């Protein structure tokens, strides 16, 4: 795709190596995306899961290979070994049985799904397609990562559900400020900036922050703090009565776009230059003020106006310029939002959790229509494919197998026992995560910088202008979100079909062999699964591969310094 429009002198200026953007001083461009050590299967998650749980030595139970009402009852789960599953599969020209994809989708919102108050028309059909309405009957786990905010995740998901005609839940939504939940245990007194009225205060309190103040509270306490702005009746109603000469603000959390740049900047700068975050005080060293966190750093964003508008990144630049002009120092800020690594890790955790939920939902649905299904471990659907009986798995009661369990000493449990009667199995990482965005500086950089299995797609319905050269090159560019989904579903079906047929035997009756040893669930060493690896290492090895890769949350360096600073500071209660 050629981006051949001549670049304007202004674009050349900011692109020149001399120009050091304040918003680009956090080393993200120096990051190397992690690449997988192990191959991740492109076969669907539900197929993999069923086969992985095909915990019956199928080779020993030939009876399974004919009619569906010949259900087999496995006598005890713990006796079953993971890697000896042999699955009967036929060569295919298309894979279209209902299943859950091993790949996943992640959407930006402004400029991809919405343009200001308007819904982009291709968004609804795109989400329906990922929800299973496609010729391959595949359901693709999907989450949303927006730098936007200023409302509860539940309000955002309800709004999207109505607009898109597909059920979207709060668990699928990450807004710019969502990862700030992890700061709840660090700060008690926080000033939350942005949004309308008390919306952001309510969101921060719903996250668990104890004392949440807003600039409106400060203006009500002393309107002289910012000249030229008289509080409206709504603003007075939203403000709390607080004596800020007695409150020490520990952190400033900019949750959403400011609705009053003049007043918010006046208050933020006064606190940054204060002694211990107390209004009306001034530090002589300018380093005694509260920490400041921004939900994102988007310099511009796409609304329903024809040209992009300044965003929170522009406010950051303005505050940093005032701070530098006032102190001669560079302002240190903590950033969340795309393209930050902290938000990437947060998104991965949310995506893993959501994929597990979609898989459980799917497996539950599978075994309803057979009267004897509750008995059997393995069921045969009308296509002749064997499927694990999920509901039996979930009602498995380990007690009754006490004696047989004892006999096999398993170092690492094959499966984790959640609460007493639930068995939870680890999920492989997504084979590919498609990230669709409209802003190269935040979206494409986010998808390209952290994990090589993420596939960035740039659409032309937002900030990015067709024909210009995006500062960060996407893996694919297309007109809109629907084209992005069609492109990915087709691309993934090709990969899945190739792998499916790669491992089938031509002659039907002998059945196909899959040895999970060489799939990603186990390390790439092709040690014979039957031997010790089976019991000893494989199970152990799989554990670190799967989820932990993205588990711990990146704590911005400044934060740990802050934690050290505030650990033993006595804050006098407001
Ligand atoms: O204020 C949010 C805007 O800057 C971008 O939102 O959804 O494109 O990440 P989004
Ligand atoms: Mg966007």
Distances (CA, A) of 542 to 87, 423, 431, 453, 466: 21, 17, 16, 19, 44
Q: Whose CA is nearest to atom 1 of ligand 1?
A: 148
Structural contact between residues 300 and 314, judged by C-beta atoms closer than 8 angstroms? yes
Q: What angle do CA 520, 133, 165 make, to 5 degrees?
A: 115
What is the per-residue pLDDT for 573? 44
Kindly give the distance from the C-alpha atom of residue 98 to the centroid of ligand 1, in angstroms, as a whole number: 34
What is the per-residue pLDDT for 503? 75
Which ligand 1 atom lies nearest to the CA of residue 338? 9
Instruction: Using alpha carbons, select from 346, 331, 180, 322 the residue that is nearest to residue 264.
Output: 322
Instruction: Please list the residues that pair with 423 across neighbouring strands.
Output: 417
Q: Compute the distance between CA of residue 403 and CA of residue 400 in angstroms, rounded to an integer.
A: 8
Q: Compute the distance between CA of residue 327 and CA of residue 316 in angstroms, rounded to an integer.
A: 16
Kindly give the distance from the C-alpha atom of residue 439 to the centroid of ligand 1, in angstroms, as a whole number: 9
Helix axes 312-327, 261-272, angle to 10 degrees: 50
What is the per-residue pLDDT for 411? 43
Distances (CA, A) of 418 to 150, 348, 396, 422: 35, 21, 12, 5
Tokens 């938000």 locate to: 343
What is the per-residue pLDDT for 385? 54
Check the CA dihedral 157-158-162-163 and report its sign.
negative
Check the CA dihedral 3-438-549-539 and report its sign.
negative
Tokens of 574: 């407001």
What is the per-residue pLDDT for 24? 81
Tokens of 483: 């084209």
Q: Which ligand is nearest to the CA of 440?
A: 2
Bridge-based pairing state of the strands 423-424 and 416-417: antiparallel
Kindly give the distance from the C-alpha atom of residue 119 to the centroid of ligand 2, in angstroms, as a whole number: 13
What is the per-residue pLDDT for 504? 74
55-85 burial code (b ≥16 CB/10 A, e <16)? bbebeebeebbeeeeebbebebbbebbbbbb
What is the best residue among 157, 312, 439, 440 to mutate for testing ligand 1's pocket, by most ligand atoms within 8 Å of CB? 439
Structural contact between residues 58 and 87, judged by C-beta atoms closer than 8 angstroms? yes
List per-block mean pLDDT (blocks of 10 residues) for the chain, which spans 574 residues.
Answer: 52 65 85 87 81 49 45 44 52 94 97 95 98 97 97 97 97 98 96 96 98 98 94 96 98 97 97 98 96 97 90 96 95 96 96 93 68 56 55 53 44 43 66 97 96 97 92 96 98 96 64 47 44 44 42 44 48 44
Cα end-to-end distance, the chain, whole Å: 59
Q: Tell me the helices (H) and strands (E) count for the chain, helix number first.
A: 16, 21
Is the preceding peptide bond at 339 cis, omega within 30 degrees of 0?
A: yes
Kindly give the distance from the C-alpha atom of residue 445 to the centroid of ligand 2, in angstroms, as a whole number: 12
Residue 508 exposure: Cα atoms within 13 Å on the Cβ side: 6
Q: Compute the distance between CA of residue 83 and CA of residue 518 in angstroms, rounded to an integer.
A: 10
Q: Which ligand is nearest to the CA of 338?
A: 1
CA 8 to chain centre: 36
Helix axes 481-502, 123-130, angle to 10 degrees: 20
Kindly give the distance from the C-alpha atom of residue 483 to the centroid of ligand 1, in angstroms, as a whole number: 21
> Residues with Cβ within 5 Å of ion ligand 2?
108, 110-111, 438-439
Neighbour count for residue 386 (Cβ, 10 Å): 24
Kindly give the distance from the C-alpha atom of residue 459 to the centroid of ligand 1, in angstroms, as a whole number: 14
Instruction: Using alpha carbons, select from 201, 214, 206, 185 the residue that is nearest to residue 559.
Output: 185
What is the best residue among 118, 347, 442 to mutate for testing ligand 1's pocket, by most ligand atoms within 8 Å of CB? 442
What is the best residue among 108, 144, 145, 148 to mutate for testing ligand 1's pocket, by most ligand atoms within 8 Å of CB? 148
CA 529 to chain centre: 34
Q: Which residues line ligand 1 (CB under 6 A)?
A: 108-111, 146-148, 257, 298, 301, 311, 439
- Its pTM stands at 0.76
What is the per-residue pLDDT for 49? 63
434-452 burial code (b ≥16 CB/10 A, e <16)? bbbbbbbbbbbbbbbbbbe
What is the per-residue pLDDT for 70? 45
Q: Whose CA is nearest to atom 8 of ligand 1?
A: 110
What is the best residue among 176, 257, 305 to mutate for testing ligand 1's pocket, by most ligand atoms within 8 Å of CB? 176
Kindly give the distance from the C-alpha atom of residue 43 to the centroid of ligand 1, in angstroms, as a whole number: 34
Check the CA dihedral 387-392-398-400 and report its sign.
negative
């Amino acid at each position: 795709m050629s981006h051949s429009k001549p670049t304007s002198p202004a674009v050349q200026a900011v692109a020149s190596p001399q120009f050091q953007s304040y918003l680009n001083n956090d080393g993200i461009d120096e990051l190397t995306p992690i690449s997988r050590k192990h191959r991740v299967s492109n076969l669907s998650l539900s197929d993999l899961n069923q086969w992985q749980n095909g915990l019956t030595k199928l080779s020993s139970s030939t009876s399974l290979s004919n009619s569906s009402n010949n259900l087999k009852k496995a006598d005890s789960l713990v006796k079953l070994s993971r890697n000896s599953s042999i699955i009967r599969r036929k060569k295919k020209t298309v894979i279209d049985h209902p299943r859950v994809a091993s790949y996943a989708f992640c959407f930006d919102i402004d400029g991809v799904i919405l343009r200001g108050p308007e819904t982009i028309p291709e968004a609804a059909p795109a989400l329906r397609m990922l929800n299973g309405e496609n010729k391959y009957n595949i359901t693709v786990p999907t989450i949303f990562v927006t730098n936007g905010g200023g409302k509860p995740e539940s309000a955002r998901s309800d709004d999207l559900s109505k607009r898109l005609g597909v059920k979207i839940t709060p668990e699928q939504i990450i807004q710019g400020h969502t990862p700030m939940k992890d700061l709840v245990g660090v700060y008690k007194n926080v000033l939350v900036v942005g949004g309308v009225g008390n919306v952001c205060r309510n969101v921060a309190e719903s996250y668990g922050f104890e004392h949440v103040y807003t600039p409106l509270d400060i203006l009500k306490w002393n309107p002289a703090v910012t000249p030229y702005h008289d509080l409206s009746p709504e603003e007075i109603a939203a403000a709390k009565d607080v004596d800020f000469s007695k409150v020490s603000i520990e952190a400033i959390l900019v949750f959403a776009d400011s609705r009053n740049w003049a007043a918010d900047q006046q208050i933020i700068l006064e606190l940054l230059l204060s002694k211990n975050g107390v209004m009306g005080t001034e530090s002589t060293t300018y380093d005694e003020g509260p920490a400041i966190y921004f939900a994102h750093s988007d310099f511009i964003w796409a609304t329903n106006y024809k040209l992009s508008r300044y965003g929170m990144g522009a406010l950051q630049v303005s505050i940093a310029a005032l701070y530098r002009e006032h102190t001669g120092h560079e302002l240190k800020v903590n950033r969340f939002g795309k393209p930050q690594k902290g938000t990437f890790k947060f998104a991965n955790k949310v995506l893993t959790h959501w994929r597990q939920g979609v898989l459980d939902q799917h497996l539950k649905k599978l075994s309803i229509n057979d009267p004897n299904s509750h008995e059997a471990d393995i069921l045969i659907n009308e296509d002749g494919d064997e499927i694990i009986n999920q509901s039996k798995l979930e009602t498995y009661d380990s007690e009754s197998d006490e004696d047989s369990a004892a006999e096999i000493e398993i170092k690492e449990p094959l499966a984790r026992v959640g609460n007493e009667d639930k068995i939870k199995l680890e999920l492989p990482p997504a084979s590919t995560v498609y990230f669709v965005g409209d802003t190269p500086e935040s979206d494409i950089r986010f998808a390209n910088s952290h994990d090589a299995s993420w596939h960035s797609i740039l659409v032309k319905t937002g900030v990015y202008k067709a024909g210009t050269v995006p500062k960060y090159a996407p893996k694919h560019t297309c007109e809109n979100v629907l084209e992005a989904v069609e492109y990915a579903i087709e691309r993934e079906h090709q990969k899945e079909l190739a792998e499916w047929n790669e491992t089938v035997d031509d002659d039907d009756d002998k059945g196909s062999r899959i040895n999970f040893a060489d799939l990603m669930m186990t390390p790439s060493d092709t040690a014979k699964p039957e031997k010790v690896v089976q019991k000893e290492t494989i199970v152990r090895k799989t554990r670190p591969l799967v989820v932990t890769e993205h588990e711990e949350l990146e704590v911005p360096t400044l934060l740990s310094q802050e934690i050290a600073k505030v650990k033993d500071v006595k804050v006098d209660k407001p």
